[in-house]
């Protein structure tokens, strides 16, 4: 199948310039994007195999030292599908997050909350044949950032997703149901439509929790869909 | 009721600490046995060896020093290492076509060691000039920015993407500068004077 992907709806995504998120002001292109039709360069993209992944890569509770991290033990799971509802199998998901106190293990994070000696905050996995994925982690804490003098991020997990082609490449953030910082967070609020932001808020999933062990949240991801090739579109050339 | 499809998951910025998930070594620790995107073309892959360096400049002309840059390219025969390329199975062992780099915390420079890609088939039988696809994410960038790098020594006058750029002088923002044999400089200007052409793919 070498069909084109559906056009991205750029009114659904955050625009480049969102002045309440101050860093965007000098980092947003001022001229319009050049829309191009898909060619082989866009419908292809990096692919990954299990051979590159380690056994604990999707277990953030244990994958830093082998000793358990401190915090609210949490399973994050869901399904990756496209805009036609088909599962995206073999998609690479990478996640990164702060620890339970809102501190990142990064040379550039100077927040006063301490590091957890047993928490790295990175994970990755591939979706299975039906598009499902699962991570285990501790729930990240909220943290302040330099925007307005009292700006705070909602608790979140960063997600990077490689679908089947460059067109589906996506980085986003997952939030947790019920977070009171939602309406204050200038980054979450870069998304114009509240219904779109709802899609980043993972509901509690008690049925997927592990009794006496871990709570669970469900986060489903939708990547761009693609046309059926009933009529020829000569995407690859003559 | 209008016909509805499930909507794509909305994007969010990668933030300042993207390295933790993508390149933990840069964040200051190890987490994974293999970090992805560290080899675009292994030593046995045929093709002209090249180095691409550059900076990402913000609207004030300041280099961004917290950016992740990904590249995707074809091999020297214009084949992508992907099952949907009709010749995808023919690429050499060790050719991934995928690279990932960060901009240095001090200098803001990114660097890729790779091979020069070949001509890639385009739509309706129109060849595309050799190019490398770039994807840029960082703090302050709400949705990843796509662009392309072309090479100054090639005939780019008939390239179908470059030809679509309405203002001729803006095409130059996608053409790298050759600084020495096999060395290319490609600066990306996010905003303002000589702003790079970004693509909605």
Domain ranges of chain A: 10-19+58-222
pLDDT tens profile A98-153: 999 999 999 999 999 999 999 999 999 999 999 999 999 999 999 999 999 999 99
- Residue A144: CB atoms within 10 A of its CB come to 14
pLDDT tens profile B142-169: 999 999 999 999 999 999 999 999 999 9
Let me know if residue B52 belongs to a domain: yes
> Percent of chain A, pLDDT > 70?
96
> What pLDDT does A158 receive?
98
Let me know if residue B13 belongs to a domain: no
Let me know if residue B178 belongs to a domain: yes
Residue B190 contacts A where some CB pair is shorter than 8 Å? yes
Q: How many CA atoms lie within 13 A of A109 on its CB side?
A: 26
Catalytic residue among A77, A79, A158, A227: A158
Whether A34 sits inside 8 A of B191 (CB atoms) is no
- CB under 8 Å to B130, separation ≥6 — which residues? B74, B78, B116, B117, B118, B119, B120, B150, B151, B154
Residue A146 falls in the annotated catalytic set: no
> What pLDDT does A2 receive?
74
- pLDDT average, residue stretch A48-73: 97
> How far does CA A104 lie from the centroid of its chain?
17
> What pLDDT does A10 receive?
97
Residue A50 falls in the annotated catalytic set: no
DSSP letter assigned to residue B30: -
Q: How confident is the model at residue A231 (pLDDT cuts 50, 70, 90)?
A: low
Alpha helices, DSSP H, located in B65-177? 168-171
> What pLDDT does A235 receive?
73
User: What's the gap in Å between the CA of B72 and the closest CA on chain A?
Assistant: 7
Let me know if residue B169 belongs to a domain: yes
Let me know if residue B98 belongs to a domain: yes
Domains in chain B, number:
1
**CATH code, B27:** 2.60.130.10
Catalytic residue among A104, A133, A175, A217: A104
- The residue range of the domain holding B33 is 18-189
Let me know if residue B37 belongs to a domain: yes
Cα angle for residues A180, A186, A187 (degrees, 5° grid): 100
Residue B133 contacts A where some CB pair is shorter than 8 Å? yes
Q: How confident is the model at residue A236 (pLDDT cuts 50, 70, 90)?
A: low
Q: Which CATH superfamily is domain A10-19+58-222 in?
A: Aromatic compound dioxygenase (2.60.130.10)
Catalytic residue among A143, A175, A224, A226: A143
- pLDDT average, residue stretch A36-52: 96
Give the pLDDT of chain B (201 residues) as one tens digit per residue.
Answer: 889 899 999 999 999 999 999 999 999 999 999 999 999 999 999 999 999 999 999 999 999 999 999 999 999 999 999 999 999 999 999 999 999 999 999 999 999 999 999 999 999 889 999 999 999 999 999 999 999 999 999 999 999 999 999 999 999 999 999 999 999 999 999 999 999 999 999
- For residue A18, the SS3 value is coil
Nearest to A172 among B11, B18, B195 (CB): B11
Let me know if residue B111 belongs to a domain: yes
Contacts of A185 in chain B (CB under 8 A): none
> What pLDDT does A238 receive?
42
């Amino acid at each position: 199948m070498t069909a084109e992907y559906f056009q991205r709806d750029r009114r659904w995504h955050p625009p480049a310039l969102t002045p309440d998120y101050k860093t965007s002001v000098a980092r947003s292109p001022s001229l319009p994007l050049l829309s191009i039709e898909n060619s082989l360069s866009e419908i292809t993209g990096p692919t990954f195999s299990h051979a590159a992944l380690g056994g604990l890569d999707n277990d953030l509770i244990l994958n830093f030292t082998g000793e358990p991290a401190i915090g609210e033990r949490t399973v994050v799971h869901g399904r990756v599908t496209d805009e036609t509802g088909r599962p995206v199998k073999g998609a690479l998901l990478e996640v990164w997050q702060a620890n339970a106190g809102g501190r990142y293990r990064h040379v550039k994070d100077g927040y006063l909350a301490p590091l957890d000696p047993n928490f790295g905050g990175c994970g990755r996995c591939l979706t299975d044949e039906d598009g499902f994925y699962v991570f285990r982690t501790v729930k990240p804490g909220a943290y302040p950032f330099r925007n307005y003098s009292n700006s705070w991020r909602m608790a979140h997990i960063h997600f990077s997703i490689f679908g089947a082609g460059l067109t589906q490449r996506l980085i986003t953030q997952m939030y947790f149901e019920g977070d009171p910082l939602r309406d204050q967070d200038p980054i979450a609020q870069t998304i114009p439509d509240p219904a779109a932001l709802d899609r980043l808020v993972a509901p509690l999933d008690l049925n997927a929790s592990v009794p006496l062990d871990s709570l669970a949240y469900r986060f489903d991801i939708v990547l761009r869909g693609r046309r059926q090739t009933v009529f020829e579109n000569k995407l690859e050339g003559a | 009721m209008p016909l509805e499809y499930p909507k794509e998951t909305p994007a969010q910025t990668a933030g300042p600490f993207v390295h933790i998930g993508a390149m933990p070594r840069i964040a200051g620790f190890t987490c994974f046995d293999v970090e992805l995107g560290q080899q675009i073309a292994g030593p046995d892959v045929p093709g002209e060896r090249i180095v691409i360096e550059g900076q990402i400049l913000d609207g004030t002309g300041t280099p961004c020093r917290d950016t992740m840059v990904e590249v995707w390219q074809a091999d020297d025969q214009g084949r992508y290492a992907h099952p949907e390329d009709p010749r995808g199975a023919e690429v050499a062992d060790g050719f991934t076509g995928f690279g990932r780099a960060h901009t240095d915390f001090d200098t803001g420079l990114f660097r890729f060691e790779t091979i020069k890609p070949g001509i890639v088939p385009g739509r309706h039988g129109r060849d595309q000039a050799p190019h490398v696809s770039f994807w840029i994410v960082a703090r302050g960038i709400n949705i990843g920015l796509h662009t392309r790098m072309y090479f100054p020594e090639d005939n780019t006058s008939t390239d179908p993407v470059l030809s679509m750029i309405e203002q001729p002088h803006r095409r130059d923002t996608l053409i790298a500068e050759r600084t020495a044999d096999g060395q290319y400089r490609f600066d990306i200007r996010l905003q303002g004077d000589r702003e790079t052409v970004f693509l909605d793919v």
